[in-house]
Amino acid sequence: MSESDIRYGNYGGQFVPEALMPELLRLNDAFQACKTDPAFQAEFHRLLNDYAGRPSLLYYAKRMTEDIGGAKIYLKREDLNHTGAHKINNVIGQALLAKQLGKTRLIAETGAGQHGVATATIAALFGMECVVYMGKEDTDRQRLNVFRMALLGAKVVAVTDGQGLLKDAVNAALADWAQHAADTFYVIGSAVGPAPYPAMVHEFQSVISTEARAQILEAEGRLPDAIVACCGGGSNAIGSFAAFLDDPDVMLYGAEAAGEGIDSGKTAATLELGSDGIFHGMASKFLQDKDGQIAKVYSISAGLDYPGIGPEHAALQASGRGHYVGITDEEAVQAFEYIAKEEGIIAAIESSHAVAYTRKLAATMRPDQIIICTLSGRGDKDVAQVADYRGVALND
């Protein structure tokens, strides 16, 4: 086991072709050094503030709080970041590491296209070449994001291998990286992949909870009782939990996508239904079919239908520190509509899973208790889909 082989209990590790091991070692050295390198930290925070628009607000949702009549609800507004979600935090950090390692080319894989767009954005900002791998089926479904990436100067490769889905795009990106490692940096968009990626994403996204902790202490003079965040691969959730991991009285809740229901067969509730396995370079929990193949997952939310989960979340669940709950499409759409009407915020359908759980949880708590719910992104991108879900025709 190399020193870069970070584990979380039984999860994590580095399950990659031998050719990539030296890259992971170099990457880990650069990552460990960047945490205390004043020049790196100054540049990272300058870009977070001046380009992405941080710090993001911690907003007291008074109308929601009064309507529900339980715990006081605060919203951590990652939807206000440039590009409209938390993904930019991590991509800035990884692209800075790429620069430091002398790489000139960024590659990424993307399902819905959101991480591809974030990577293409930073590649444009840094003047780097960018190639994004996407399953063929996903490029057909996400034409707008494919065009967005092209506008930003990235090349999108439609992957036809396998089923033409996200897992096939992951394999294509890993193959590209193994072949072009000399000049190429693989930007991973969630708290997943071989070590040190999950630790890196944790580090770069922890800005969410570092800010939120200071903001809630300023506003309320005490820590919150619970944090709620939605969970796809788990990057906004681990970023929201990070600064509270050592505060045992702060409950940590991840809302994962139950799709049409936990028992429906059309779901992405990895932590509730998944089993231990190895994919995407890591040991974690995955939704797998009876032959041990990665299952086809489903959620109304494109950002949550990843068939696995970050290894740190698998470990937090196993240790009991983190709690993970499934939210159905219907509950998420109701929360999407609710927070729009109640607070005037159109939240991403992913984030609406966290809002849905916050509604349930707040109702069981006292008015002197506090929940911080992370709004991972804005929902403009989801308006057409919610209209469709509700049977409203937008075009004739």
Ligand X SMILES: *Cc1c(COP(=O)(O)O)cnc(C)c1O
**Sites for ligand X among residues 229-248 (CB under 6 A):** 230-237
Cis peptide before 55 (omega within 30 of 0): yes
Binder among 4, 83, 110, 114 for ligand X (CB under 6 A): 114
Question: By CB under 6 A, is residue 113 in contact with ligand X?
Answer: no
**Cα–Cα dist 359/353, whole Å:** 10
Minimum gap (Å) between residue 147 Cβ and ligand X: 18
Q: Which is nearer to ligand X, 72 or 299 (CB)?
A: 299
With contacts defined by CB under 6 A, name the span among 67-75, 135-143, 227-235, 336-344 that binds ligand X.
227-235
Catalytic residue among 23, 78, 376, 381: 376
Question: In the complex, what is the shortest distance from the CB of residue 37 to ligand X, in angstroms, rounded to a whole number?
Answer: 25
Least Å from the CB of residue 238 to ligand X? 8
Residues in binding contact with ligand X, number by CB under 6 A: 19
Active site residue 66: no
Window of 53-61, 62-70, 126-134, 344-352 that interacts with ligand X by CB under 6 A: 344-352
How far apart are the C-alpha atoms of 83 and 47, rounded to whole Å?
Answer: 13
- What's the gap between Cα 384 and its chain centre? 22
Helix ranges, the chain (H): 21-34, 38-50, 62-68, 87-100, 114-126, 136-141, 143-151, 166-180, 197-205, 207-220, 235-241, 270-273, 311-319, 329-343, 349-363, 383-389
Q: Which is nearer to ligand X, 72 or 353 (CB)?
A: 353
Q: Are 309 and 284 in contact (CB under 8 A)?
A: yes
Residue 161 token pair: 């291998």
Closest CB to ligand X among residues 164, 232: 232
Cα gap 260→257, rounded to integer Å: 9
CA geometry: angle 233, 112, 314, nearest 5 deg: 10
Going by DSSP bridges, is the β-strand pair 58-60/105-110 parallel, antiparallel, or unpaired? Answer: unpaired
Site string for ligand X, 72-91 (x = CB under 6 A): -------------x-x----
93 touching ligand X, by CB under 6 A:
no
Q: Exposed/middle/buried for 239, CB within 10 Å: 0-12, 13-18, 19+?
A: buried
Minimum distance from residue 271 beta carbon to ligand X (Å) = 12
Q: Which of 4, 56, 103, 109 is flagged as catalytic?
A: 109
What are residue 359's phi and psi, to 5 degrees? -60, -45
**184-210 residues labelled b (16+ CB within 10 A) or e (exposed):** bbbbbbbbbbbbbbbbbbbbbbbbbbe
Under DSSP, the state recorded for 11 is: E
The pair of three-digit structure tokens given for residue 198, joined into one six-digit string: 């999950």
Q: Is 121 in the site for ligand X (CB under 6 A)?
A: no
Give the per-residue contact string, 298-337, with ligand X (x = CB under 6 A; - = no).
Answer: -----xx---------------------------------
213 is a contact residue toward ligand X (CB under 6 A) = no
Binding mask of the shown chain, residues 166 to 205, with x at each position contacting ligand X by CB under 6 A: ------------------------x---------------
**For residues 20 and 201, which CB has a smaller minimum distance to ligand X in the complex?**
201
Identify the CA nearest to 241 among candidates 286, 201, 195, 281: 201
Among 315, 348, 355, 371, binds ligand X (CB under 6 A): 348
Has 376 been annotated as catalytic? yes
Q: Where along the sequence are the contacts to ligand X (CB under 6 A)?
A: 85, 87, 114, 190, 230-237, 303-304, 348, 350-351, 376-377
Mind telling me the catalytic residues? 87, 109, 376
